[in-house]
Amino acid sequence: MEEEPAVMPGDEDEPVRPKKSELRSRLGWSVVRAIYQGLPDFQRTRMEEMGFGPFLRLDELTSDVALIQALNERWDPECQAFLFPWGHMIPTLEDVARNTGLRVDGQAVTGVTYTSYQEMLGRLLGLEVTRERSSLVPRTRLQASLGVADARHQTGEVQAEYMARLTADARAALAEEEGAGADRDLRRFLILVIGKLILGTRGDPVSCRCLPLLEDLTQVGSYAWGAALLAHLFDSLGTSSRETGVAGCGRTATSLPWVQWTPYVGEDDATQP
């Protein structure tokens, strides 16, 4: 008769609780959606013309920490691909275009890195960076400039009520007519979307390195933001450790929930699912 192994403390399966990075992701997406819904009609039209409309109408983007961790552990840094039992597989530009609606052809998202972004932030956004030689702006300050000063759930508040409150707060703060104020609002919102959802960074502050590309709003839609998202995903996977992989690439990875994986040439055979 076989003896059953003793169950030691800590061996039991414990319920998986949302991690801080996952909760921050949920909060960030809710805030972005609420502000987007609070934009005046002419501003949402501009977002559509820039190519961000389909992305902002996606279902809620939340980080599945366990899934991202598992994918990160299968990343092969030498081949820059995910290693599965049936071969190497990678997400492609077609996956990005199909799943996010972001443009994958057009001008490259590139430019000059400035030693100081303070003057540009003050002129284009009316905000300040965290430090003089920094490209980061506090997320809470950026959200507050768009009308969402308090993004916390109130006691007994269901999700629908929460979203309605944030949307109303944003609508009350945003410029209702075209002009310099509306342009500033749009740049602030674009920085929030790009800096946290498309080219997301670890931690809470929002990067403003792409702000020079937003100075001329008529040109924003000509950039290949989808290609930049994919490049950022590969860069995050290639440089992150197992610990930072969840926070560093998680938000970007959740933008590809139904990826049609593309095998390398020679690996497309009947052994693959």
pLDDT digits (tens, 9 = 90+) for 258-273: 444 455 444 454 444 4
146-160: average pLDDT = 91
Residues 97-131 pLDDT 10s = 998 999 999 999 998 888 888 899 999 999 877 77
pLDDT, position 239: 66
Burial class (CB in 10 A: 0-12, 13-18, 19+), 105: exposed
Q: What type of residue sits at position 57? A: R
| 144 Cα distance to chain centroid | 19
Cα torsion angle, 113, 199, 221, 224, sign: positive
Residues 19-54 pLDDT 10s = 444 444 455 788 999 999 999 999 999 999 999 999
**CA distances (Å), origin 169, targets 34, 50, 174:** 9, 25, 9
